[in-house]
Amino acid sequence: MHVKTMEGLVGARTNMNLTRIPMRVYKEAKNRGDTQGMERAMQYAGEFTERAKDYQERADEGMKEEAEEIKAKRSQESRKAAEKHREGKEKPENGFEEIRKEKTDTVEISQRGKDLAEEMKREGGTVQTEDTADVINSGMR
């Protein structure tokens, strides 16, 4: 909790509690018929109420500042998370070729195999031969 907020809440509560005393004095003065005592008591009660109002405003300011700080912190955290996500996305693309070169097996087809494939192709069978083969992943994720 922000210091201003805490100070404001404590000050407002304390001053509102302090208004009870002049209000009690006001009631006693009213029962006695003492108008000057009633006026003084109301003056004190008004002062405590004004102080409580000032402290409440201070608490409101503190809560606004705290909300702004939290918002800025969350914004900064989300920017960092987005950057981290982008970096994580770029790394596999850049590193894929290196991994492929290091851990790729090559297959060489003999001349007899090529001849058989050509023969099957001429007879109507479909055989596809490519210069490159797909990378087979053997649990290296």
Residue 10 lies in a domain: yes
* 42, two tokens: 């109301």
Is the Cβ–Cβ distance between 48 and 17 less than 8 Å? no
Residue 49 lies in a domain: yes
Res 119: pLDDT: 87
Find the domain containing 65 and state its range: 3-122
Residue 17's pLDDT band (boundaries 50, 70, 90)?
Answer: very high
Residue 35 lies in a domain: yes
What is the biggest distance separating any 2 CA atoms in the chain, rounded to whole angstroms?
125
Report the share of the chain in percent with pLDDT over 70. 76
Residue 137 lies in a domain: no
Q: Decide if pLDDT at 112 tops 80.
A: yes
Residue 129 lies in a domain: no
How many domains does one find in the chain?
Answer: 1
The dihedral of CA 61, 66, 69, 70: what is its sign?
A: negative
Give the Cα separation of 29 and 21 in Å (integer).
12
Q: Decide if pLDDT at 134 tops 60.
A: no
pTM: 0.51
| 97 or 76: which leads in pLDDT | 76
Residue 141 lies in a domain: no
* 92, two tokens: 């596999």
Nearest to 27 by CA among 45, 15, 13, 14: 45
Residue 40 lies in a domain: yes
Task: Mention every residue, 6+ apart, whose C-beta is less than 8 A from residue 134.
Answer: none
Burial class (CB in 10 A: 0-12, 13-18, 19+), 59: buried
